[in-house]
């Protein structure tokens, strides 16, 4: 069974990913179209491992977005657009954290429901899907 990335490693990974997403956003011209930057940062938040790490990553993503896409040279923009984008990133974080929490709870409370990466040694994905015993 594979282990998920913990929050202690999830946030540094999210932080580094936010930097890469910001560099990519600026490279593709998101300073003129900030929605591209917001979308890239949403992807970064969505793949973060735990809710606390996702929230910390969302704050980092917003700071990168407001400082390098909306603002210039690391100065945080305090415009209406920055506030709107902060709301979008926060809303995305809450949705992702809720969905992940529900999925983990379902797997924890219903042992017959297993994700493909939770199969036993030698058990195929189709055996899990078909409900065949291990």
Task: Tell me what pLDDT residue 1 has.
Answer: 43
114: three-class secondary structure by DSSP: coil
- DSSP characters over 12-41: HHHHHHHHHHHHHHHHTTTTT-HHHHHHHH
Tokens of 63: 């700071």
Query: Global pTM?
Result: 0.69
Task: Tell me what pLDDT residue 27 has.
Answer: 93
Task: Tell me what pLDDT residue 21 has.
Answer: 94
Per-residue pLDDT of the chain (134 residues; tens, 9 = 90+): 445 566 567 888 989 999 999 999 999 988 888 899 999 999 888 887 778 888 889 999 999 999 999 987 888 888 898 999 999 999 988 888 888 778 777 777 766 655 555 555 555 555 555 555 55
pLDDT tens, residue by residue, 98-116: 887 787 777 777 666 555 5
68: three-class secondary structure by DSSP: helix
């Amino acid at each position: 069974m594979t282990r998920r990335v913990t929050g202690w490693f999830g946030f540094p990974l999210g932080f580094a990913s936010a930097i890469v997403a910001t560099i990519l956003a600026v490279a593709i011209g998101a300073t003129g179209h900030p929605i591209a930057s917001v979308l890239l940062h949403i992807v970064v938040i969505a793949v973060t491992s735990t809710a606390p790490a996702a929230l910390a990553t969302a704050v980092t993503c917003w700071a990168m977005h407001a400082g390098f896409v909306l603002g210039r040279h690391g100065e945080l923009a305090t415009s209406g657009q920055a506030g709107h984008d902060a709301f979008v990133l926060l809303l995305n974080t809450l949705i992702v954290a809720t969905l992940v929490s529900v999925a983990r709870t379902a797997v924890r409370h219903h042992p017959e429901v297993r994700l493909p990466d939770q199969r036993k040694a030698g058990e195929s994905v189709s055996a899990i899907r078909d409900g065949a015993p291990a």
